[in-house]
Structure 1
Amino acid sequence: MSLSQQQELRAILEKGLPHAAQPYLLIAQALNTTEAQVLAQIQLWQEDSLIKRFGLVVKHRKLGFKANAMVVWNIADEQVDDVAAQLSSCSEVSLCYRRPRRLPDWPYNLFCMIHGTDREIVTAQIDAMVKKFSLSYVEKDILFSFKAYKQQGARYTKQGI
């Protein structure tokens, strides 16, 4: 597969698979190649860890998950990796990132996202994580979203931007 076909394939995959019985065949036709070549390229990207997995993007608010909390933590720098690993091990946590502090106003350096149907449930889940990992001494804040303006997967190609 040529480099330009690979770039086009990445852009197509970023947008999601076509809703068809044979989506890879449709992609191959769009790229003027074979379905086997498309599948082989995807396999190579998986082996190289460029593609981790194919998944479904769920519009969680439409499913009733309206209590969405970004929990921000002020973790000692030497403990961030350990605490991030602990929080990431929780099924309730969908995202966990380290970001720079913005002192003096923003001391937080670890961020995790939790989605739930009810604020009390999400708060209880956070309290349980605090207890489980002995984080009661850690300064944190829970930022519940109240309006969604956009939700989509990230785009990494020029065609996707």
Structure 2
Amino acid sequence: MNSANAVDSEMDRRLVLATQGGLPLVPRPYEQLGEQLGISAAEVMARLTHMLERGIIRRIGVVPNHYAIGYTANGMSVWDVPDERVDELGQRIGALDFVTHCYHRPRRLPEWPYNLFAMAHGSSREEVLAKVEQIAELLGADCRGYDVLFSTKILKKTGLRIGV
């Protein structure tokens, strides 16, 4: 972590350590964190907001277990689109309610021509493929090729962790 993104205080560090495994699954998680750290819920929220604004933390969000909520088919669709339009097209695809994440990645020619990735989940491969077809329709002539890579096993998802 460079000095521009360093945590301001020992309390910020304690807050990061307390939340890096996820927010408490209680009706008022900020209050519980505040009680644990000896500060108010308002201060917890203010500190998290400050760290978000400074880029110390990137986001606060839900990371659902797709399998637990019935989405057992997970397909990463990969797209070959014009480089000069990849940002615009990525924003349009990322706005679809069934796309959980969408991002630009460099091509690795000649083996890998794809530069735009979009993850879709469904209860079956057929459902995911139908969603991918919707993306293809949205892209129209900008779609020069695509594929779908289906998950074959569940990997544990964790973000960066700092030590005690």
TM over 0.5: yes
TM-score by length of 2: 0.78
Runs of 4+ in 1 over 6 A off after TM superposition: none
Match of 2:43 among 37, 42, 51: 37
Match of 1:109 among 103, 106, 115: 115
Q: Does 1:151 align with 2:153?
A: no
Match of 1:66 among 63, 68, 72: 72
What are the ranges of 5 or more consecutive residues in structure 2 without an aligned counterpart? 1-6
Cα distance per residue 1:33-61 (max 9 Å; x no partner) = 45443233234345x27567644332111
Match of 1:95 among 90, 98, 101: 101
How many matched pairs?
A: 157
Q: Distance in 1 between matches of 2:130 and 2:28?
A: 44
TM-score by length of 1: 0.79
Q: Which amino acid counterpart does residue 96 of structure 2 have in structure 1?
A: C
Q: Does 1:24 align with 2:24?
A: no
Match of 2:129 among 123, 132, 139: 123
Conserved? CA contact 2:93–2:99, under 8 Å: yes
Distance 1:24 1:141, change over 3 A: same
Match of 1:85 among 91, 96, 105: 91
What's the Cα RMSD here? 2.8
Distance 1:74 1:20, change over 3 A: closer
Once the 2 structures are TM-superposed, how far is the Cα of residue 23 of structure 1 from its aligned partner? 3.9
Once the 2 structures are TM-superposed, how far is the Cα of residue 8 of structure 1 from its aligned partner? 2.1
* Percent of paired sites with the same residue: 34
Q: Which amino acid counterpart does residue 159 of structure 1 have in structure 2?
A: G
Distance 1:72 1:38, change over 3 A: same
Conserved? CA contact 2:81–2:143, under 8 Å: no
Moved more, 81-90 or 18-27: 18-27
Q: Distance in 2 between matches of 1:101 and 1:14?
A: 32
Once the 2 structures are TM-superposed, how far is the Cα of residue 95 of structure 1 from its aligned partner? 0.5
